[in-house]
Structure 1
Amino acid sequence: MPDITIWNLILLAEIGFGFILLLFLLKVSTKLNWYLPLAIYVLLVMIDCYSEFLFQTGNIVNTPHLLYASEPFNLLAGPMIYLYARSQEYQRFKWIKTDFLLLTPSIISLLVYIPTYTMSAADKILEYQNYGTLESDVENFVWEWIFLVSINVTFFAGALQRFKNYNDKIKTLYSNIKNADLRITQILIRLCIAIYILELVAVFLTYYELPFNNESYNLYDIFQLIVLVLIGYDAFRTYKHSATIKQEWQRIHLEDGQNIIQPIKYANSNLTPEQSAEIKAKLQMYMEKHEPYLESQMRIKDLAEQTGISSHQISQVLNESFNQNFFEFVNCYRVKKAKALIEDPTNAPLTLTAIGFEAGFNSKTTFYEAFKKATGTTPAQYKQNLSLSDY
């Protein structure tokens, strides 16, 4: 039996952890079915790791018919992440007719590999033993990986763009987006992009016989294991709070579904500069006097009802006069309130997190990010600077 290296053990760890994660994701999918494409992605990673393990250890000679068996499946990784992103956006998984087009690259790859799959076991073993000895073989290998990476990264980029557009629309409507914030999924997708780019770099290093080619492949395996761990963390966190998250998303999509799907446009607005200035002044006066931003679940719809100004006009004025969306506009007032609370000596016993909640934020993360964006410093640093200025 060939020697087992630490990197082979990492592959086995990926397979083992992937199997446990797959079972958990299937369980999660019974409550939150948008995790189903991610479960398929984990299965694809397991198949890829097992194929790589057989190839690296030489055990492929004992199962020659598995040679290149995983190649067409590698082209499904990007589409599955894209479907997961789309499912996350709408908090449900739904297969539509046009989704069959996502399988096209994988089907093309399958057709290309059919001659290899129909070879005898002896010929496949010979193919494995002679792998990479001909320059044409290596060149084909490079072009194959360029195709693989291009397809998958294109789908990953498409998924990120969906999230960007969606978050922009959400921030137009809501002053806090704790449950609608899909940053973990975005980190996951960016890691997937990094993995495929890293693997392509490793392929070129191998092709030109440059240093660190093996190290690049090893780093790829480590990154892939990190992705699996991140998937597990995200799924566990979401599953734990599944009831709350489903209620929050249902509220978002039922109440403001049309506004979320369609971007707010101002091309046909008949709002004059004078009216815009009047609305701007009215909004500022109302925010200062009534402090509606202290309500953590405040929506643009709520502000419209309280001020008698339409949501469309509020959004237009915020965008054109303040250069802000609703999320940014309200959080600026919350930051101002938080600063006042921090500066007030009677609030010294309160924690900074408690001050954030008092100011209208619904999460510590949102509070700290908004505060730092507005002031250039964290709440803790701001409080410390105040203490130092007293001496």
Structure 2
Amino acid sequence: MSIFALQILLVGGATQGLCLALLLATRHANPLANRLLALLMLLVSAQSVLVAFDTREFFLAFPHLSRIGWLLPSLFGPLLYLFTRKLTSPAPRLRRADAWHLLPFALVLAYLLPYYLQPAAAKIAYLRDFQAASRDDFGWLNQLLNLEHIGYLLAALHALRRHGQRIRDEFSDLTRLRLRWLRQFLLFTLGIVLVGVAAFYGRKWGLSWISNVYHFHYLGVIGLIYWIGYRALAQPELFSSAQQDIPPGAAAGGPNVGAAALVVALEPTPAALPAPPDTTAAPAAKYQKSTLTPEQAQEVADALLAFMRAHKPYRQNSLTIQELARQLELPKHRLSQVLNEQLGKNFYDFVNEYRVEEVKHLLRDPRYAHYSTLGIAEEAGFNSKATFNAVFKKITGVTPSEYAKQSEIGV
């Protein structure tokens, strides 16, 4: 591929990035995360243009643009990390601690400011010394920026992993909350960065077979911009926060177990429902400051299991821990504590065990003989065929269709 063709692709991608930044900045859903991503796309687009015209002749003609390409990347990692944090946060907002992530940019700016303040003639004189300018391009500053990129990407992946753990404590259906696209985005970006770092050192050490991709690896960046643009247009819900999937009115209730939680149904209970709570479990470290006594925890656990049997809230496919806490008239953190300490389960596993047992019960019920297995799963509260199949096999060891056949022949 010729340099001219590469320039056309990079500039075209930068234009797409600018349009995407405008689209994201005007999104009403989760505006903070979208604006962080919009700013990142804007800076990446500007960097793509600088990479497209990264020639000695260009910077001799426009000396004040030299070394701008050193400064912009210092914001890439922090913005990507903050975007990940705010997109996966239940209450996204900027905090004072977030300002620390601007420290790399501030330090790089302070280091480069004397150069930026030089007159054009001084910069041109410096750029004419090709060996010195080239040596500085691959100096310690850009090497540290390479490490910064990798470090922030790993931190973003860690934040996403923690989000995956958190939603299992709060949601019973993860279909809309897994943010698979974000994981793909981060891994794709990490791959591009690793290729870029390899090309950087290949050029620094004179390894021609690697250094040949020094500029061409930016085609991956352009591909990433187009991929995000496609996702933003084709699946706009992907750029909403997880909190927006919580049903309206799912706020925690008062501090005491309400009367509704203590009503016990008189109808038969499906077999093999989750066992009564084990009160011998040691308190988790995160609940050491809790004022909930063992007696109160036992009372809440008994009320919870009674409520699950009586009212079957698990049949609500969008059930969240906040909604269940509201129905029980309990603070969410108390319900979470009882689930983790008394039952040793997260909310996702707790609710879906009930749903699986409900499916098994309905499969044996003649009134549901005309239902398909998926129809029965939906009656039990499952919202996704893939989730139903995966959860059912994890708990029972067989697929739903295998279990249905066993039920028919009385196994």
Report 1:96-245 matches (<5 A).
96-119=95-118, 121=120, 124-125=123-124, 127-128=126-127, 130-131=129-130, 133=131, 138=135, 141-210=138-207, 212-214=209-211, 216-217=213-214, 220-236=217-233, 239=236
CA separation of 1:50 and 1:307: change in aligned 2, threshold 3 A: closer
RMSD value, Cα: 4.6
Larger Rg: 2
Letter in 2 for 1:296: N
Report 1:5-20 matches (<5 A).
6-20=5-19
Provide Cα deviations, 1:80-107, integer angstroms capped at 9, x if missing partner: 2233234324577645555443332212
After TM superposition, give the deviation of residue 43 of structure 1 in Å.
0.6
2:38 and 2:330 map into 1 onto residues whose CA distance is 46
Question: How many residues are paired up?
Answer: 377
CA separation of 1:372 and 1:156: change in aligned 2, threshold 3 A: farther
1:193 and 1:222 map into 2 onto residues whose CA distance is 14
After TM superposition, give the deviation of residue 18 of structure 1 in Å.
0.8
Higher share of residues assigned helix: 1
After TM superposition, give the deviation of residue 294 of structure 1 in Å.
1.3
Provide Cα deviations, 1:287-332, integer angstroms capped at 9, x if missing partner: 5675432111323355567779886565345434654201122123
1:56 and 1:387 map into 2 onto residues whose CA distance is 70
List alignment gaps of at least 5 residues for structure 2. Answer: 254-284
The aligned counterpart of 1:45 is 44
Q: Which is worse superposed, 18-27 or 39-48?
A: 18-27
Q: Which is worse superposed, 99-108 or 308-317?
A: 308-317
The aligned counterpart of 2:27 is 28
Identity of matched residues, %: 25
1:137 and 1:316 map into 2 onto residues whose CA distance is 59
Provide Cα deviations, 1:62-89, integer angstroms capped at 9, x if missing partner: 3232122232121111222233234324
The aligned counterpart of 2:280 is none
The aligned counterpart of 1:359 is 380
CA separation of 1:140 and 1:357: change in aligned 2, threshold 3 A: same
1:324 and 1:103 map into 2 onto residues whose CA distance is 39
Q: Which is worse superposed, 322-331 or 160-169?
A: 160-169
Indicate conservation of the 8 Å contact 1:238/1:245, yes or no: no
Q: Which of 287, 293, 305 lines up with 1:265 in the alignment? A: 287
1:313 and 1:245 map into 2 onto residues whose CA distance is 22
After TM superposition, give the deviation of residue 188 of structure 1 in Å.
2.6
2:356 and 2:390 map into 1 onto residues whose CA distance is 10
Name the SS of the counterpart of 1:45 in structure 2: helix
CA separation of 1:301 and 1:120: change in aligned 2, threshold 3 A: closer
After TM superposition, give the deviation of residue 145 of structure 1 in Å.
2.6
Indicate conservation of the 8 Å contact 2:30/2:241, yes or no: no
Name the SS of the counterpart of 1:75 in structure 2: helix
The aligned counterpart of 1:292 is 313
Letter in 2 for 1:4: I
2:406 and 2:361 map into 1 onto residues whose CA distance is 17
